[in-house]
Amino acid sequence: MTDQTSDRGFRRLVALVVLIVALAAVYVTKEFLTTIMLSVFMTYLLYPVHQFLHRLTRRRSLSSFLSILLVFAAFVLVATSALSVMATEVSNLSGSEEMIVRHVSSLTSFMDELAGSRLSGPAARWYDQLSDLPAKLLTWGLSILSEGLSGLLSDLPIRFAQFMMAVFFTYYLLVDGGQCVWKGVELLPERALVDRFLLEIHSIYTSLFNVYFITSMLSGLFAAVGFFLLGIPYPVLWGSLVAIFTLIPMVGPLSLILPMSIYYILGQDYLRAVLLLILGVVVLTIIPENVLRPRLAQQGASIHPAVTILAYTAPLFVVGLSGIVVGPFLYGFLLAAYRTAASPSMAESGGSVEANEDELPLCPDSKRPAQ
């Protein structure tokens, strides 16, 4: 009896120590929760490339490394293009500073003369009060831009370290993430329920991450080809920006195409402006949204567009740019939990339905470990 009491006391002590260590581990890791989510995000994005390379190389570690290397190559290409464009435009801007000042001064004088000849009474007073508004808005915008750049530069080392950690996590998730999931599932009760939940969350994350990203990248590719055919400078850079704009809900490619069209209209290049609008509306909006994305989404879960917009947009106002990763991660988890609980097959069988072993994350082709 004394030995049993001693064993129970020892087990409670061990459980308490494990709980304290687990809480301490969560505390010291809390700053990297976003990094872990980013790793899962990148794993789903790179998985199609990883599978293609794995069929060629037959080596999971090599295909994982090559997948990440391709992402770095694309990032270097976009960054190099952006720096080249910035250097060229800054050089042109510094060389034509006097001309810009003359144009702005002449435009301001023209507006003042037009207002003086056409406006009178309250309208003239309102114009005088609003005439300083552009300068004030410019000063306000420059101050915000300066603060944002200073904050970005100060956080750059931390962000770079988090990104490198995410790259390492992504590599190992691509290599043996599926086996890790299976081994974790083996330790849990309610195996059928957990299998069903993993099946749901995999299909949802595939739709939120994979399909959304692939559609955005294809839109960027179409845009780059279209810009090249239209003779627009820096087609690769503009195509990359279209891909990024397409990736962000409530922004879309038209947020870039419309200003470009207005620019060419002001330059009296009406044909190019019209072709740009056709490119933005038909090729970059209608075809991706109504042809590409539905076909790709057939392989994943059916998610209402409102849920997708909410998942990608709402967290941006709370956690900033990282909300693009955190939002779909959290909303997808909750949606998977709801669908698991509301699944008719689970309700009819009392939780005895087991998911197909070839369909679970993170690597659907990984097999359940032998019993």
Q: Are residues 245 and 148 in the same domain?
A: no
- CA gap 169, 273 in Å, rounded: 45
Residue 133 confidence (pLDDT): 60
Using alpha carbons, select from 252, 258, 260, 206 the residue that is nearest to residue 234: 260
| Pair 150, 244 in one domain | no
Within a domain: residue 50?
A: yes
Instruction: From 155, 177, 199, give the residue that closes a domain.
Output: 177
267 and 155 both lie in a single domain: no
Q: What are phi and psi of 275, to 5 degrees?
A: -65, -35
Domain that holds residue 78: 35-94+130-177
Number of domains in the chain: 2
Residue 9 included in any domain: no
Higher pLDDT, 21 or 12: 21
Among 348, 345, 365, which residue's Cα sits nearest to residue 357? Answer: 365
Of 177, 212, 232, which marks where a domain is finished?
177
Q: Are 50 and 194 found together in one domain?
A: no
Residue 24 domain-assigned (yes or no): no
Q: By the 8 A CB rule, do 147 and 23 touch? A: no
The predicted pLDDT at position 236 comes to 83
Q: What is the pLDDT of residues 120-175, one digit of tens each?
A: 666 556 656 565 666 566 566 556 656 655 665 666 677 777 778 888 888 888 88
* 242 and 152 assigned to the same domain: no
Q: Does 30 fall in a domain? A: no
Establish if 3 belongs to a structural domain: no
| Cα–Cα dist 42/167, whole Å | 8
Instruction: Indicate if 192 and 271 belong to the same structural domain.
Output: yes
Assigned domain for 217 exists: yes
pLDDT band at 369 (very low <50, low <70, confident <90, very high): very low
Q: Cα separation of 49 and 58, whole Å?
A: 13
Average per-residue pLDDT for the chain: 74
Task: Let me know: does 67 contact 174? Beta carbons within 8 Å.
Answer: yes
Q: Are residues 251 and 222 in the same domain?
A: yes
Q: Does residue 253 lie in a domain region?
A: yes
pLDDT-derived band at 355 (thresholds 50, 70, 90) equals very low
- Encode pLDDT of 191-250 as tens digits: 778 888 888 888 888 877 777 778 888 898 999 999 999 988 888 888 888 887 887 656
Give, rounded to a whole angstrom, the gap between the first and last alpha carbons of the chain: 36
Residues 288 and 311 in one domain: yes
Instruction: With a cut of 90, say whether residue 112 has pLDDT above it.
Output: no
Q: Is the pTM of this model over 0.75?
A: no
User: Are the C-beta atoms of residues 185 and 179 closer than 8 Å to each other?
Assistant: no
For residue 125, what is the DSSP state?
A: H
**Eight-class DSSP state of 362:** S
Sign for the pseudo-dihedral over CA of 263, 267, 270, 271: negative
pLDDT confidence tier of residue 278, bands split at 50, 70 and 90? very high
* pLDDT, greater one: 179 or 143: 179
Same domain, 171 and 203: no
Mean pLDDT of 338-357: 60
Q: Specify if 143 maps to a domain.
A: yes
pLDDT (tens digit per residue) in 45-89:
788 788 888 888 888 888 888 888 887 787 777 767 766 766 665
Pair (194, 215) in one structural domain? yes
Q: Write the CA distances from 305 to 11, 187, 248, 309, 323, integer angstroms.
A: 50, 36, 13, 6, 17
